[in-house]
Amino acid sequence: MRVFVTGASGFIGSAVVPELLGAGHQVVGLARSDASARALEAAGAEVHRGALDDPDSLRAGAAKADGVIHLAFIHDFSNYEASMRADTRAIELMGAELAGSGRPLVIASGIFGLAQGRPSLETDPAASQGRGLSEEAMIALAGRGVRSAIVRLPPSVHGKGDHGFVPHLITSARKNGMAVYVGDGAHRWSSVHRLDAARLFRLALERAPAGSRLHAVADEGVPTREIAAVIGRRLGVPVVSKAPEEAGNFLGVLGMFFGRDAAASSAFTREQLGWRPVEPGLLADLDDGHYFADGAGTLMK
């Protein structure tokens, strides 16, 4: 296929592009900046200049493609509603170009907030807010002749180059002189290696049925105290529990997330698409050392 990919130069996109190319697909990547364009060219992809807030660029990219993978997202948490509106609008614009054709549109969504007290399932509907708005748009497109598929990502998509939650935990531990977890630390985080996630995006593009909800989950649930324990051991700092009401003083905005359960199952996804994660799990990857390459074993003053 000729595949249009938004977010193609990002942390996950930069794994999806070689995964697609290695499977024989052509890749056209959306690039807003010169740096992104250079990265895409170096990876062997064609460059399509534009942005999420440029409707014409999105329409043109989707119209000329045999399929679309939408990974880009405006990470402005100070105005999250605007980011969600932009994401939903981008999906609607590209979906309109694919309508009636049976061509695939695959998007990234999230697992946080789907269920509490049990692992989230692919059959769990998202709330009608946040990323749930994008999921609703995707389900509607399935009824308009688009082979739409939602790939839900866990709180930790890990691997070299990660700039998400886990690096924030490490930075906080260096700054505070302790690796903090919330409460009893029994809350579980699901996770996946970026290379395993990339393979699932390709499989979804190639053969997921219309209206699919898929879970890119390798580790169903890693207790958060075990994540903190590896960080503490690698940095040589104590591992300390903090009450939920004070966790934000040490972890910032992540305090409210690190104390929430986000376990998830991918049993249905594995059965449906034959996806099998093969990369290291979160704790093994965290213990490998690359997360601590800068200032490993020392504290940031």
Give the end-to-end CA distance of the chain in Å, rounded to a whole number. 50
Selected residue with higher pLDDT from 128 and 206: 206
Per-residue pLDDT tens digits for 55-111: 999 999 999 999 999 999 877 666 777 778 889 999 999 999 999 999 999 999 999
pLDDT greater than 50 at residue 296: no
CA distances (Å), origin 157, targets 4, 8, 104, 231, 270: 22, 16, 23, 17, 18
Bridge-based pairing of strands 219-223 and 188-193 is antiparallel
Per-residue confidence (pLDDT) for residue 211, from 0 to 100: 97
pLDDT greater than 50 at residue 236: yes
Per-residue confidence (pLDDT) for residue 77, from 0 to 100: 63
Confidence of residue 299 (pLDDT cuts 50, 70, 90): very low
111-125, 126-140, 152-166, range with the lowest pLDDT:
126-140
Confidence of residue 8 (pLDDT cuts 50, 70, 90): very high
